[in-house]
Amino acid sequence: MGAERRRGRAGAVRVAVLLVCGVVLAGCGSMPDSGDVSQVKASNPGDSQVRVYPVTPRENAEPDEIVNGFLEAMTGDDPGFATARTYLTKKAAREWKPEEGATVLLAAPVSRRERAGIRSTEERLVYSLHGERIATVDGRHAYQPVGTAKYSGAIQLVQAPGPDGQGKEWRIDSLPPGLLLGESDFQRNYRSVNKYYFASGRRWVVADPVYIRQRQDPVTRMDPMAQTVRALLEGPTNWLEPVVDSSFPTGVALKDGVTSLTPDEQNKLKVPLNEKADNIAYETCRRMAAQLLFTVGDLASTRVEQVEVQREDGGTICTLGESQKENYRADPSGGVAADPYFIDASGRLAHLRTGSENAVHQAPVPGPFGSGALKAGKVAVARDERRAAVVSADGQYLRVGSIVSDADTGAPQPLLRSNGVLPEDRLSAPSWDGRGGLWIADRDRAAPRLLYLPDGSEEPLPVAAPWLTEGVRVEALRVSEDGVRMALLLKEGDKTTLHIGRVERRGSGGRQTVQVVDPQAIAPRMESVTSVSWAGQSRLVVLGKLAGGVQQVRYIQTDGSTSAAAIPGLNQVKVVAASNDERTPLMAASADDGIVRLQSGANWQPVVEKGTFPVYPG
């Protein structure tokens, strides 16, 4: 266990230790204090029970050992990367800044010594580094996936004085910036967390995922809780920054010397800030506390239920508790929906309700969409579960109507009509945000467009989308609860790819202007994506195919990183659906099994023999 095996490397360079003795082991023995250090196999991705303790270079180590030893030492987490720095010259050790970011490769980098006469000499050796780059992490902890691309870098070695000042030893004098890690080492050392900021000019929060160290940060010596709070105070990631605000004034930081934050026995987290926070107004402090409470809520082994913001001298500025979090959500109900909806075999909108012993009961909804007055093709249920937006079976018309009253069972007047020639060139499924706004795409090949209905019933507003050029159209969309981010399936030619777009607004109501900008590809290794649904504040459930692979359902974070949670396979899936409440079951429509659901710790189970298009509110 430890870092990934690098083929053809001579010499052993580090030791890996299991932190916890699992039930599969007969017992835990003591660590041996003698014997050879041997090279070890790769750790399983995300295996946080593995700790890696790199070793310093031996006396008169060969150049290959220096290069490979340093690459291995980068995957450890000893304070200050002190062991890794022993492979560097004094100058390189001073200048190397591992905190600047990381390059993530599909597997550990492979090194190759350049031939003499090209770049290397008797006093200087150059090793080229190669791999498949899949992502980068910048200095603000933001993860950015890339389509698998060739990586190349170089390490230069020189003859330097030995540790005792005598003789000459090979040491690294020039190296790539930051850290260079294989994917499994990255997953072992880092974890994804959500920071929270306010939607610009609004009272509700927006998730901003970043990566922090699983354990103590080698550079700052901070534990995960302190790292996360520090990242929150540093501000949002570059992509999200244009559409969010932070309540923390410029210069506010953790009090000097704070490297650990732990909730007390009442599950209260006390956050001491520097002198820049001493004169903050009470209401500003409450907003700061809301950002903190959402951010640290699920980090500790014991859930944080209250946050206390403190001055530098330890005095309390304000506190905020779990019961007050709903005041800062886009959807005041918290977005918790236990039961999904679907379109039954007759084209009616129906509600699935879970009874005792998980028995499922289905019934058409009240109102025009459950009466059979029209056949529904696609649907979105408002988050308050009082209205639904329905696209007709031919994809041509969008209607919005009540699903709580039978007062009017006739088909509502259309709010939108598509002129697309074929059903697949007409309206996409609609999507509701947390404040009653409705979004939809017209896939008409002659005039593809995005549209927004501010309260779900007004005249549709055009949504500017500069990237919606000739040959590109929106196949499907799902807007986040906060209305700031939009998951987009963009079709170009025969390929449909997953992107996240940023929603920017000016003004309000029917006079506002709206645009979706800077769509980021977040599943570049998937060659096609068929369906997507929000499955949490920064997580999506996605139906698609990896390049050269079979169809699968998987979780993907909105920054493009892959969630470790596994989803069992399912045949002939057409649509997947999830709720913002991660405790609710996944739903899917399968050609073989009808409507099926996946509860935690179980396999897919059929719940409706004939039906299509399962959805949760949103």
Q: At residue 527, does pLDDT exceed 80?
A: yes
DSSP code per residue over 161-194: E-TTS-SEEEEEEE--SSEEEEHHHHHHHEEEEE
Q: Using only the alpha carbons of the chain, give its radius of gyration.
A: 27
Q: What is the pLDDT of residue 29?
A: 35
Q: What is the pLDDT of residue 511?
A: 77
Across 431-440, 508-517, 579-588, which has the greatest mean pLDDT? 431-440
Distances (CA, A) of 96 to 84, 153, 193: 10, 15, 26
pLDDT, the chain, mean? 87
pLDDT tens-digit map of 402-447: 999 887 777 899 999 999 999 999 999 999 998 899 999 999 998 9
Cβ-based neighbours of 24, under 8 Å, separated by 6 or more: none
- The CA distance from 247 to 213, in Å, is 25
Q: What is the pLDDT of residue 6?
A: 43
Cβ-based neighbours of 166, under 8 Å, separated by 6 or more: none
Q: What is the pLDDT of residue 482?
A: 94
Q: What is the pLDDT of residue 357?
A: 63
- Whether the CB-CB separation of 178 and 101 falls below 8 Å is answered with yes
pLDDT tens-digit map of 310-320: 999 999 999 99
Which of the residue ranges 40-44, 239-243, 289-293 would you say has the lowest mean pLDDT? 40-44
Locate 201 and state its tokens: 């000019």
Q: Which CATH class is domain 341-615?
A: mainly beta
DSSP 216: S
Q: At residue 48, does pLDDT exceed 50?
A: no
Locate 526 and state its tokens: 């998937």
Domain map of the chain by residue range?
14-188, 341-615
Which of the residue ranges 431-435, 456-460, 496-500, 574-578 would you say has the lowest mean pLDDT? 456-460
Cβ-based neighbours of 144, under 8 Å, separated by 6 or more: 135, 136, 137, 138, 520, 559, 560
**Mean pLDDT, rounded, for 210-227:** 95
Q: At residue 164, does pLDDT exceed 80?
A: no
**Mean pLDDT, rounded, for 329-355:** 82
Q: At residue 210, does pLDDT exceed 70?
A: yes
pLDDT tens-digit map of 594-605: 999 998 878 999
Between strands 190-199 and 205-213, the pairing is antiparallel
Picking from 412, 438, 411, 437, the residue whose alpha carbon sits closest to that of residue 427 is 438
In this prediction the pTM is 0.87
Q: How many C-beta neighbours within 10 Å does residue 338 have?
A: 13
Cβ-based neighbours of 104, under 8 Å, separated by 6 or more: 133, 134, 135, 136, 137, 181, 182, 183, 186
- The CA distance from 449 to 460, in Å, is 11
Q: What is the pLDDT of residue 336?
A: 55
Q: Name the one residue in this structure whose structure tokens are 């790292």.
A: 227
Question: Residue-wise over 151-179: b if at least 16 C-beta within 10 A, else e?
Answer: bebebbbbbbeeeeeeeebbbbbbbeebb
- The CA distance from 452 to 200, in Å, is 18
- The CA distance from 438 to 458, in Å, is 10
Q: What is the pLDDT of residue 181?
A: 96
Locate 528 and state its tokens: 């096609």
Q: At residue 534, does pLDDT exceed 80?
A: yes
Q: What is the pLDDT of residue 331?
A: 80
Question: Residue-wise over 438-462: b if at least 16 C-beta within 10 A, else e?
Answer: bbbbbbbeeebbbbbbbebeeebbe
% of the chain residues with pLDDT over 70: 88
Q: How many C-beta neighbours within 10 Å does residue 213 have?
A: 18
Q: What is the pLDDT of residue 22?
A: 38
Q: Name the one residue in this structure whose structure tokens are 């800077």.
A: 518
- Whether the CB-CB separation of 560 and 523 falls below 8 Å is answered with yes
Q: What is the pLDDT of residue 23?
A: 34
Question: 354 - beta bridge partners?
Answer: 360
Q: What is the pLDDT of residue 298?
A: 74
DSSP code per residue over 404-422: S--S--SPPPPSEE---SS
pLDDT tens-digit map of 2-45: 444 343 333 434 444 433 333 333 333 333 333 333 333 344 44
Q: What is the pLDDT of residue 406?
A: 82
- The CA distance from 226 to 223, in Å, is 5
Instruction: Label residue 238 by pLDDT band (50, 70, 90).
Output: very high
**Mean pLDDT, rounded, for 547-554:** 84
Q: At residue 487, does pLDDT exceed 60?
A: yes
Burial class for 464, CB neighbours closer than 10 Å (0-12, 13-18, 19+) = middle
Residues in the chain: 618
**Mean pLDDT, rounded, for 446-454:** 93
Q: What is the pLDDT of residue 600?
A: 82
Q: At residue 259, does pLDDT exceed 90?
A: yes
Q: Name the one residue in this structure whose structure tokens are 């007759």.
A: 346
pLDDT tens-digit map of 319-333: 999 999 989 998 866
Q: What is the pLDDT of residue 32?
A: 35
- Whether the CB-CB separation of 113 and 194 falls below 8 Å is answered with no
- Whether the CB-CB separation of 605 and 562 falls below 8 Å is answered with no
Helical H segments across 429-497, by residue range: none
Locate 516 and state its tokens: 């979706």
Q: What is the pLDDT of residue 599?
A: 87
More confident position, 614 or 493: 614
Burial class for 331, CB neighbours closer than 10 Å (0-12, 13-18, 19+) = buried
Dihedral angle over CA of 16, 19, 25, 29, nearest 10: 80
CA 214 to chain centre: 16
Q: At residue 583, does pLDDT exceed 80?
A: yes
Which of the residue ranges 52-61, 356-365, 488-497, 594-603 would you say has the lowest mean pLDDT? 356-365
